A and B are shown apart, each in its own frame.
Chain A
């Protein structure tokens, strides 16, 4: 994929300088600190980072699903087909959610209602968004279950969520998310709670369905292995900011941010020897409640020099289609 040549009208979703804050009793957390990126039509974009980096908050900010009492988007834009979602009324936003942008979660029970059958829930979503008749919606529910390869869909439509296994519930949730043919599917750690053989099945399913339906996918995960198997482009987040953005091959071949490089090296890899010490990223993630001067990764960074501690690096091109927020990205890539 050659991102730098992509025409403007291929942009499906664009975030510009998005800032989200959480308000505690005595403190303010800058959960997102100026996030800008694009999702192209039909692409799979990975968003990776460790706990607290802001990847899930990004998803919830896009869909405006943040807790109303404690969180607020204080700046920036979320443009979907050019239209700023932050300016829509709640009613207009509800029309977008589930219809044009759908989301799946790590735990399917958060989005499945335990007191209704799977078939009923899928059919309901179809009816609300397409004004289809009940019988048409019911047939669609069955068709969706078949699409996500649930065996025996005629029978399964009348199952309740608790009658299904974890893997099957995840399939049902995907079926529900895709029932209205959304243009963008946001998947937040959809396979993290699953066993590896089931994870492999679900990943394969998401990739297949994406190819078949042309839906763009924003895939949020902490697992670099999952990203490598599913995504075309990747965004790496750290402490509420994007630190690197590249095609999947570029990112793995030559990471340009020391954090990305550190993450990759700290993963066990038998090719580099068993039972040896793994390269660590020393220290811990900074608190987002206190103001950060300079680069937020500088205290843990082996490349840090004076400028890193004084001035915040912005995302810049290190080569075509590959950006990094690091003063020393060129040296990092050579290391």
Chain B
């Protein structure tokens, strides 16, 4: 296959909020704004950012669990955002999702075997024997004993449940797995087991991952490339090694500096970044990071910076660190809250 496995173009999601019943216009929350990236077969793209940055919304948009306001999601060149129900059903086989909380994402009344074979039975009917064989095979793939086939989720540990969630995602042999904070709820020792499993699966089966996480240690470990999001937008997208060695966007820099390091001999020099993530209901004008940014200049308050490609293959949206050589003609952002007509 030529070209990327997944191509996301100008993906945007606005949520209306408040009552619009008697008003002419509804204010919107810009959860995801103009997000574009690609993922190659067998690659891991990590999306990092803090709460409210839109990373989980991106995951749901990719799976088309929610409809985008604008933009396209292409898998092998086909835009799944435009597909009708039946066609979408067929394309869904290609991508599966693993959730953060293995407690609430598994049906407590189904056995392990039923949980992991259910996706396949959405597409084809299986004989009892086939189902048994498939379940045993999937359990083995995720490092669980086939004897677990009759267990209920409540009879499994947190790590085993997450393995089950991964087995379910593997059942349809997807080319892409979207993992939304898949190891965040796990203890460190269990987290290591699950990360190893994901790395093994990628190597053996060539699965690509979109791995959404707030944990930079985990991201640095498994990512090939990293997209950093802030208030709905990508502010930096770079090869993992380059990003961690030399973050360019001041927010990426602040994020990396803030992550606690398990090394007591390290002396922390820099003061943590001030302030908090602003509300997406009323985002700052210009660059959304400017109220917290130590480098902010006048232009940052007025004009949102475009993503500018850098020499080492990364893109950065920052007027100071990555000034655009040709300023694209763009109307200044007029209001903080935008309105869509009803």
A-side residues, CB < 8 A to B, are: 50-51, 165, 167-168, 195-201, 203-204, 222-229, 248-249, 252, 262-264, 266-270, 274-281, 284
Q: How far is the CA of A229 from the CA of B277 in the complex (A)?
A: 23
- Known interface pairs A268-B217, A268-B218, A274-B220; A252-B262 also in contact (CB < 8 Å): yes
Cβ of A204 and Cβ of B271 under 8 Å apart?
A: yes
B293 within 8 A of A: no
Cβ of B265 and Cβ of A249 under 8 Å apart?
A: yes
Apart from A204-B271, A229-B264, A281-B189, list 17 A-B contacts with CB within 8 A.
A51-B158, A51-B187, A167-B276, A196-B216, A197-B255, A198-B50, A198-B276, A200-B258, A222-B188, A224-B188, A225-B259, A228-B261, A229-B260, A229-B261, A263-B188, A274-B220, A280-B193
Chain A residues with CB below 8 A from B262, complex form: 224-225, 227-228, 252, 264, 267
CB distance from B170 to the nearest CB of A (A): 19
Chain B residues with CB below 8 A from A249, complex form: 264-265
CB distance from B206 to the nearest CB of A (A): 14
Chain B residues with CB below 8 A from A165, complex form: 276
Q: How far is the CA of A223 from the CA of B216 in the complex (A)?
A: 13
Cβ of A284 and Cβ of B221 under 8 Å apart?
A: no
- Known interface pairs A201-B272, A249-B265, A266-B189; A280-B196 also in contact (CB < 8 Å): yes
Cβ of A268 and Cβ of B220 under 8 Å apart?
A: yes
Q: When the two chains form the complex, which single residue of B50, B189, B199, B258 contacts A275, counting CB atoms closer than 8 Å?
A: B199
- Known interface pairs A165-B276, A195-B277, A280-B193; A203-B218 also in contact (CB < 8 Å): no
Cβ of A196 and Cβ of B50 under 8 Å apart?
A: yes
Q: How far is the CA of A226 from the CA of B158 in the complex (A)?
A: 23
B273 within 8 A of A: yes
Q: How far is the CA of A2 from the CA of B158 in the complex (A)?
A: 39
CB distance from B27 to the nearest CB of A (A): 20
CB nearest neighbor in A for B157: A284
Q: Enumerate 11 A-B pairs (CB-CB under 8 Å) in ascending A order.
A: A222-B187, A227-B262, A228-B263, A248-B264, A252-B262, A263-B189, A266-B192, A267-B262, A269-B221, A277-B199, A279-B192
Cβ of A196 and Cβ of B265 under 8 Å apart?
A: no
Chain A residues with CB below 8 A from B50, complex form: 195-198
Chain B residues with CB below 8 A from A196, complex form: 50, 214, 216, 255, 258-260
CB nearest neighbor in B for A167: B276
Enumerate the 9 nearest inter-chain pairs by beta-carbon distance, A residue then B residue, closest first: A225-B260, A268-B221, A200-B272, A266-B192, A195-B50, A200-B258, A50-B187, A281-B189, A278-B192
Chain B residues with CB below 8 A from A281, complex form: 189, 192
Question: B188, B254, B276 — which one has the most chain A CB atoms within 10 A of its CB?
Answer: B188
B:240-283 near A, CB below 8 Å:
240-241, 244, 254-255, 257-266, 268, 271-274, 276-277
CB distance from A109 to the nearest CB of B (A): 16
Cβ of B258 and Cβ of A228 under 8 Å apart?
A: no
Cβ of A197 and Cβ of B260 under 8 Å apart?
A: no
CB nearest neighbor in B for A234: B264
- Known interface pairs A165-B276, A268-B220; A252-B241 also in contact (CB < 8 Å): no
Q: When the two chains form the complex, which single residue of A168, A229, A252 contacts B268, counting CB atoms closer than 8 Å?
A: A229
Q: How large is the interface on B (under 10, 10 to 19, 20 to 34, 35 or more residues)?
A: 35 or more
B238 within 8 A of A: no
CB nearest neighbor in A for B52: A195
CB distance from B295 to the nearest CB of A (A): 16
Q: How far is the CA of A151 from the CA of B157 in the complex (A)?
A: 44
- Known interface pairs A225-B259, A228-B264, A263-B188; A277-B196 also in contact (CB < 8 Å): yes
Q: When the two chains form the complex, which single residue of A195, A203, A224, A262 contacts B214, counting CB atoms closer than 8 Å?
A: A195
Q: How far is the CA of A132 from the CA of B216 in the complex (A)?
A: 47
Chain A residues with CB below 8 A from B264, complex form: 228-229, 248-249, 252
B195 within 8 A of A: yes
Q: How far is the CA of A7 from the CA of B241 in the complex (A)?
A: 49
Cβ of B188 and Cβ of A197 under 8 Å apart?
A: no
CB nearest neighbor in A for B274: A201
Cβ of A274 and Cβ of B240 under 8 Å apart?
A: yes
- Known interface pairs A167-B276, A204-B271, A249-B265; A197-B258 also in contact (CB < 8 Å): yes
Chain A residues with CB below 8 A from B217, complex form: 225, 267-269
Q: How far is the CA of A299 from the CA of B159 in the complex (A)?
A: 17
CB nearest neighbor in B for A193: B51
Chain A residues with CB below 8 A from B276, complex form: 165, 167-168, 197-198
Q: How far is the CA of A203 from the CA of B220 in the complex (A)?
A: 23
CB nearest neighbor in A for B185: A51
Cβ of B221 and Cβ of A274 under 8 Å apart?
A: yes
CB distance from B84 to the nearest CB of A (A): 39
CB distance from A141 to the nearest CB of B (A): 22
B222 within 8 A of A: yes
Q: When the two chains form the complex, which single residue of A167, A197, A268, A276 contacts B254, counting CB atoms closer than 8 Å?
A: A197
Question: B50, B192, B264, B276 — which one has the most chain A CB atoms within 10 A of its CB?
Answer: B264
CB distance from B284 to the nearest CB of A (A): 15
Q: How far is the CA of A279 from the CA of B188 in the complex (A)?
A: 11
Chain B residues with CB below 8 A from A278, complex form: 192, 195-196, 221
Cβ of A252 and Cβ of B263 under 8 Å apart?
A: yes
B132 within 8 A of A: no
Cβ of A280 and Cβ of B272 under 8 Å apart?
A: no
Q: When the two chains form the complex, which single residue of A168, A200, A268 contacts B195, counting CB atoms closer than 8 Å?
A: A268
B36 within 8 A of A: no
Q: How far is the CA of A269 from the CA of B188 in the complex (A)?
A: 13
Question: B159, B191, B244, B272 — which one has the most chain A CB atoms within 10 A of its CB?
Answer: B272
CB distance from B223 to the nearest CB of A (A): 8
Q: Interface digits, B175-205 against A, CB 8 Å rule (1 contact, 0 not)?
A: 0000000000001111111011001100000
- Known interface pairs A199-B260, A268-B221; A274-B193 also in contact (CB < 8 Å): no
Q: How far is the CA of A266 from the CA of B268 in the complex (A)?
A: 24
Cβ of A50 and Cβ of B261 under 8 Å apart?
A: no
Chain B residues with CB below 8 A from A276, complex form: 199
Q: How far is the CA of A165 from the CA of B191 in the complex (A)?
A: 29
Chain B residues with CB below 8 A from A199, complex form: 258, 260
Chain A residues with CB below 8 A from B241, complex form: 274
